[in-house]
Chains A and B, each alone.
Chain A
Amino acid sequence: MNNLLLRLCLLVCSIWAITPSSHAQATWDLDQLMQSLATTRTGHASFIEKKFIAILNKPVESSGELFYTAPDRLEKRTLQPKAETMVLDKDKLIVEQRGKKHVLSLQSYPEIAAFIDSIRGTLAGDRKALERSYKLGMVGTEQSWNLSLLPLADKMKKVVTSIDISGSGNTLETIEIKQADGDSSVMTITPLPAL
């Protein structure tokens, strides 16, 4: 009986030990968020993205899955309304749509690059990469944080006003992008078991 109690105690203690305690750190800063995000090596999630476009009466919705492999491979597999795959691998962007495959170099499309890097950089917890293109701001706690990215380059500012990413611990929950022309999009992410 004693023995069992001891074992239970040890188990609880070990759980305690491997989980960094939020109680111990009441404040949660950008560095900690980045460190926490950087621990993710692979990720698999489903997404629903809503785009609010001025010329359309109602938002367009798309959904699919996201795959992430640290540090620089991100795949966005849209299933609805049109099947389409977008793979970001290092500085290559491979887009497959309408049965055609396009390989783009991110350098050719700096706006898209910065845009995509905002998500990839966040996933990787790469503060340096993010700060090259954005002014970062963070509010909230470990359980519920909100990271805001404001573009630095004028060219980029003409396209994107702000990117807001919210999450909990080392998982991303929503990504909201506000475009300079007033259009916006919200992507909601739900983790799926790793493949």
Chain B
Amino acid sequence: MIVVSLVIISRSQFTADLSAFLPSNPTAEQQLLMDQLKDGLASRLILVGIEGADLATRATLSKTIAKNLRSNPAFVSVNNGEAITTERDRSYLFNHRYLLSPAVTPQHFTVDGLHTAISDSIDQLASPAGLLTKSLLPHDPTGEMLQLLDAMNASNKPELVEGAWASRDGDTALLLLQTSAVGSDTDAQKQAMQFIQHEFDQATESIAVKAQPTLLMTGPGMFSVVARDTIKSQVRVIFVISTVLIALLLFAVYRSLSALALGFLPVATGILAGIASVSLWFGVVHGITLGFGTALIGEAVDYSIYLFMQSDQTGDREQSRKKWVQLVWPTVRLGVLTSVFGFAALLLSGFPGLAQLGLYSVAGLVAAAIMTRYVLPSLLPADFRIRDVSNAGITLSHYAQRARRLRWPVVILVAVSSIIVYQHHHRLWNTELAALSPVSAADQALDTRLRAGMGAPDVRYVVVVSGDSQETVLSDTEKVSAALDGLVGKGLLSSFDSASHYLPSLKTQQARLASLPTATELKLRLTAALKDLPVQPSVLAPFLTEVEAARTKPLLQRTDLQGTSMAMAVDAMLLQQGQHWSSLIPLTAPESGNIDAAQVQTALDQAQIENTLFVDIKAESNRLYSGYMQEAILLSLTGIAAIIVLLLFVLRSPSRVMAVIVPLAAAVLTVMAGLTLFGQQLIILHLIGLLLIVAIGSNYALFFNPVNKQGIPDISPRTYASLVFANVATVLGFGLLAFSSVPVLQAMGVTVAPGVILALVFSAVFARNKD
């Protein structure tokens, strides 16, 4: 079994992104959100900032890095405001202006339409911008290009300083990169990061700089790389430290190397079985699961502690261990079963992250227990012995006797805790998905800063149009755009972006082409239109030629966008998944502040466009998380109910079940109150921690209320000693997690470590008197 586990693990994939904490059976909106988080264009963007040195140096570095990265196939696009893409953008818009401009209608090219448009263009020459537009007039007297440029400028762009993008304050040179690999491909993202770092290092070396410039990188891909590295290194450190600490503890107690090695056998089996089963079932193992696994060592090691320490060390040891199996094993088995029942509930979770934790725990604990019961005793050498701990046990049993006097103080403590928890019940849980993010606050602040400098607002409101082909989706997108234009006109939206701005549907393109008159017809109309305008028809000869050329050119396809910055925009907004197409239309709030979601919804409803969804991504992701939270609370309660049913079935006495449950409930309440008092808002992993308190604490409570009461005359001093050592081992395992900077690991640590101590103490306090 161990060999099989090793083989499976060697082929396992490990990830560390937040996707494990997103649902596996999502609604349409959730699916979209997840796709965007995992593989959407947003996930492929890397924002690069260069700080330090002086303005000119930063701009030079930006240009050098951009130039070198542009030839790297790992990047689809590298933007730093240089004219390279700007020129291509302009020529795309200019060459295809009659297909792209929404002003192109049959009316626009009548004598009246031409007259109005051309006199507008002449007025435009009077404006200061006339200097720039003058050369356009002979080619584009109807002003299509200006219209398109206006639409393009609606989106915020960073400012150019020394020919490269810089933040508003000018202190940071900015680049926007799009990787070829999707954001969830953490290895590729890491490689992309290394490419950037390499080019930066090369570029800084080649120029002599006084003040050393620094390189900043951010983006969803970067976040997953950093998160994975952080979780990896922390899990490794925690694993090593907790193993060493537990080993030291056990050696101090056992004073025997063979006992130490054998004691770890169930632990190793448990870890291997846990990882292997998660890998088999889910295909991939999440970093959080591994971190959690290291903590579970602390519990799995308990079983061997019970076996070694509770068996009599003085008489016939072999006989004594047989007696242990006969008398104590049922209690341990019940403890294992309660843990398994508790965690099995998590298997039902629709969120792979939780289900992984559940499966890992169930498989790990069962494997460790089976190893302890069936394999370990036969492996023990005949002369196996550990230090006798009876003396320590006797002292402990005195304490345990006296602990019962603490009943009332503990009852008061629990009552106070209940009041605290009740008073905070509105703010008890953190319902923001971001609370789970393994990205540090500093990294998030950097991201916000660079984003703000880039003038790229967070995409919060999106209209999603779905359909079965690119053409249908684009066509519906145009209808939505028309409805949204009305909102922009009313000032309810500042602007919106849409794939159809850059790539109109074929139908619309055809309609626009059909609006263009033939060369002879246009010439006649133009002459008439120019009658009282200060322009000679001969000046506008290029216009006639270019309109005629547009009439014969093929319609625009997606490939025509290649090499422009608009290609990136279209890729981000026009998505295909198999037969399913969707178009995203991100909305920008008016300067006054927020988007009135109800108004947008009404406008969309009135437009009556099928397959259109208006999504508030922030609300949706928080709804997603709170749904996830509620599910987890429900599952945890189910787990606890399953434990109670199991105990009722085995102990066959409600009062004995109560005696087991009361100390655990008291521990859970006290920990919740404590966390709240320390200002911690509970996240989902605190909840898992609470479940763990019940699962692990049940072992202690059961020893105070053993299964076969007839067989064990009283709780032996050795049992007390073993419980304390088992408890210390668990606290060591979980306590280290509390020092992690990864919120999900930290949450589990700060919950379980104090919780299991309280569970043991309260079990002693509430242990039933000898009747």
Residues of A that sit less than 8 Å from B by CB: 49, 51, 53, 55-58, 60-62, 76, 78, 81-82, 84, 86, 95, 97-98, 100, 102, 105, 107-108, 111-112, 115-116, 159, 179, 183
Contact = CB atoms under 8 A, between A and B. Distances in A.
26 contacts: A51-B126, A51-B130, A55-B535, A55-B536, A56-B534, A56-B535, A57-B534, A60-B125, A60-B126, A60-B534, A78-B126, A82-B123, A86-B128, A95-B128, A95-B129, A97-B129, A100-B150, A105-B160, A105-B161, A107-B159, A108-B159, A108-B160, A111-B131, A112-B128, A115-B131, A116-B128
B122 interface: yes
Interface size on B, as a range, is 20 to 34
B153 interface: yes
Interface in B145-169: 150, 153-154, 159-162
B709 interface: no
Contact of A78 (B122, B127, B134, B539): B127
B154 to A, nearest CB: 8
B137 interface: yes
A108 B158 CA distance: 10
Nearest to A104: B159
A106 to B, nearest CB: 10
B138 interface: yes
Contacts of A78: 126-127
Contacts of B154: 100
A57 B536 contact: yes
A43 B340 CA distance: 83
A51 B137 CA distance: 15
Interface of B: 120, 122-132, 134, 137-138, 150, 153-154, 159-162, 534-536, 539
A55 B122 CA distance: 10
Contacts of B125: 51, 53, 56, 60
A17 to B, nearest CB: 42
B129 A81 contact: no
Given A57-B535, A57-B536, A107 B126 contact: no
Nearest to A55: B539
A82 B143 CA distance: 15
A102 B153 contact: yes
Nearest to A78: B127
Contact of B131 (A60, A100, A112): A112
Contact of A81 (B126, B132, B134): B126
A195 B131 CA distance: 31
Contacts of B159: 105, 107-108
Contact of B123 (A81, A86, A108, A115): A81
Contact of B150 (A51, A76, A98, A107): A98
B150 A60 contact: no
A64 to B, nearest CB: 10
B160 A107 contact: yes
A78 to B, nearest CB: 7
Given A102-B153, A105-B160, A62 B131 contact: no
Nearest to A93: B128
Residue among A56, A61, A76 with the highest chain B CB neighbour number at 10 A: A56
B134 A84 contact: no
A76 B129 CA distance: 13
Contacts of A62: 126-127
A55 B134 CA distance: 9
B137 A84 contact: no
A62 B150 CA distance: 22
